[in-house]
Structures are given as C-alpha cells and as structure tokens.
Chain A
C-alpha cells in the first residue's frame, strides 16, 4: 500500500510571498500525482495532474514538480483566494496525503 505524506501540516505565508508544499510517496509512483485545493466549506478543486500539468483554468502561479517519490507544489505569489488546504493524491490506489493548510501570516 502506497502512503502519501505531506509537509508541513501548516504553512504561514504573507500575501505576495511564495509557498512551497511537499508531498512524499512511500514508494515510486512515477509522475502519477495530482494536487487539489480545498477552501473550507467547498469541494476540492483539481489544480495539477501528472505531477506538473495545470488543470483547465488554473492560474500560472501554481506549478508542480517532481517524480518518483518526491513532489512539490509551488504557489509563486500568494493571493487572498489561495489560502486553503492542499492535498496530493496518487493515482494507483487513490491515496491522499493528509493535507497542508496554507494560512495567512
């Protein structure tokens, strides 16, 4: 069973700054990884798939990288609407990470 681990649990960032979120797989998953954003009270929204491809309508400030076991989601300049919880998910057994909360510093 593949386990996904995200870090940190909470990230405090000022608006306009860069945020870097990490996701680690317990074994290699190639680039079979997606990232979702969830604003409290709303459904998750697909941001990134294939580790680095932005989903339709996702702003360019969101970027994903990595392969194998180490992955990163970067938000280049945080906007007010980006403060949310972010989840990674690997494809084969649909395991989600526990989430990283991005909060206003």
Chain B
C-alpha cells in the first residue's frame, strides 16, 4: 500500500518561500507522476503541479512563475517550493501519486501552511 507524508513548516512569513517535502513509502516512484494540490480553509481543491519520476514538470499556469516541484527518487521524496507567498497561499497542502498525468489515486493526509507575520 502506497503511503505519502507531507512535512515542512506550518508557518511562513509573507514574501518568503514555502517549502514542503513529500515522503513516499510502500512503492516505487518510477513510472509515476507526483503532484501537489492545495485547499484553502473552507474552499475547494486547486492543483499546483506535478513532476514525473524522471524530473519533467507541469505547473498550474496561475502559479507557474512561483512554483518549483522536484523529485529525488533515491530518497523516495518529492518537494514543493512556492516563492513570494501571501496570505492567499494559506491552505492545506496535499501531495499525491498521479496516474497518467491525469488523476490522483493516493493522497497524503495534508499539512496546513499558514502565511502570516
């Protein structure tokens, strides 16, 4: 059974960089895409982007200028960096395994990141 676990700071100051890591266990990262999805409190889901195990990426156009997603298959991890954060970036951030670059079949439990000074 594949399991994903997000980790990183729960509080980030405005204008700084949000950094999260997702650790994958119970399966290989090979042949899959790996994604970050977020959910502001009380709101719906927003796709941030995904990375293929080989390192190629695809990002939500609305966030593309601020997002970097990378993968480290040797550590069974992938990471999210979001620069120049504002209060609008406050959300629960989920990592997920993606099938065919299309849909998420396994999700982490999510981690709340609050942007505040």
CA separation between A32 and B44, bound complex, in Å? Answer: 20
CA separation between A46 and B103, bound complex, in Å? Answer: 8
With an 8 Å Cβ cutoff, the count of chain A residues facing the other chain is 19
CB proximity to A under 8 Å, residues B1-56: 44-47
CA separation between A89 and B100, bound complex, in Å? Answer: 14
Q: Is A49 an interface residue (CB 8 A)?
A: yes
Interface residues on B, range: 10 to 19
Q: Is A60 an interface residue (CB 8 A)?
A: no
Given A43-B94, A89-B103, A91-B103, A96–B45 Cβ distance below 8 Å? yes
Q: Render A61-105 as a binary contact track against B, CB cut-off 8 A, 1 for contact.
A: 000000000000000000000000001010100111111000000
Chain A neighbourhood of B74, CB < 8 A: none
Contact B44 A43 (CB under 8 A): no
CA separation between A89 and B60, bound complex, in Å? Answer: 14
Q: Of the candidates B99, B102, B107, B109, which one forms a contact with A32 in the assembled complex, judged by CB atoms under 8 Å apart?
A: B102
With most chain A CB atoms within 10 A of its CB, the pick from B100, B104, B108, B110 is B104
Chain B neighbourhood of A3, CB < 8 A: none
- Going nearest first, the 4 A-B pairs with the smallest beta carbon separation are A94-B47, A91-B102, A43-B107, A34-B103
